[in-house]
A and B are shown apart, each in its own frame.
Chain A
């Protein structure tokens, strides 16, 4: 199948879809929800990672001493 045949349709498809407005409020809601959630997610991820690293360190040190 010659895909080039579909190129004008793809351009037409984009033009038609371009008429459907993405509201400013929708864009802001999408990005602001993440900005609000993000710091919390980041902090809790760091806490879990630090706790895991610390546990590993304790285990390694404890194991090393018993030998």
Chain B
């Protein structure tokens, strides 16, 4: 790929830095880890860039490549979910919270407890993709997506409840 591709790629990333940063932040446990993940995501996007078909939206392509990269990194590391009580996680500063809005805190903290694949399903749902599109982007069956969605809703409800009960 030539210098023109690099210029175009840099511009595309900078236009969509909100997506890239948000995804990496939701999967990382610290700012340092977030930067590492971002580097890996940028590299995957660059490798996949020649195959990007302009008939799909650039944001859809970024979500697909970035989420699959993050899931694969966490599978290799065999982590990605917080298993300790929330109060301990707060003490160890696992959460790099931004903003003070209640729902924003719930979004970061409750989603932080989900498995990497479940996290990706929720993110794509929040982004407005339907089950068929989510299944295509994450290479899982549509039935699997709806099963996961039901399970995630129950788990999030429990986490939100414990967040409300625990002193912060």
Overall SS of chain B's interface: helix
The answer to whether A17 and B106 touch across the interface, beta carbons within 8 angstroms, is no
From B17, B42, B104, give the contact of A20 (CB < 8 A). Answer: B17
Chain A nearest Cβ from B11, distance in angstroms: 9
- In the complex, the chain A residue whose C-beta lies closest to that of B39 is A30
Contact of A5 among B103, B122, B127 (CB under 8 A): B103
B46 touches A31 (CB 8 A): yes
A61 located at the interface, meaning its Cβ lies under 8 Å from any Cβ of chain B in the complex: no
Inter-chain contact A3/B125, CB cutoff 8 Å: yes
Known contacts A3-B153, A27-B9; is A17 also within 8 Å of B14 by CB? no
B132 at the interface (CB under 8 A from A): no
Q: Let me know if B104 and A9 touch, CB within 8 A.
A: yes
List, in ascending order, chain B residues with CB within 8 A of A6's CB: 103, 106-107, 126
* Across-interface contacts of A20 in B (CB, < 8 A): 17, 21
Contact between B43 and A15, CB atoms less than 8 A apart: no
CB within 8 A of A16: which of B38, B98, B152?
Answer: B98
Interface residue ranges of B87-127 to A (CB < 8 Å) = 98-99, 101, 103-104, 106-108, 122-123, 125-127
B142-168 interface bits toward A, Cβ cutoff 8 Å, 1 = contact, 0 = none: 000000000011101100100000000
In the complex, which residues of chain B have a beta carbon less than 8 angstroms from the beta carbon of A28? Answer: 6, 10
Report Cα–Cα, A10/B157, bound state, in Å.
17
CA distance A61 to B157 in the complex (A): 64
Nearest CB in chain B: distance from A35 CB, A: 8
- Whether A1 lies near B160 (C-beta < 8 A) is yes
Known: A17-B25, A30-B42. A22 touches B103 (CB 8 A): no
Known: A17-B22, A17-B25. A9 touches B106 (CB 8 A): yes
Cβ-closest 7 pairs across A and B: A18-B18, A17-B21, A10-B126, A9-B103, A1-B157, A31-B46, A30-B42
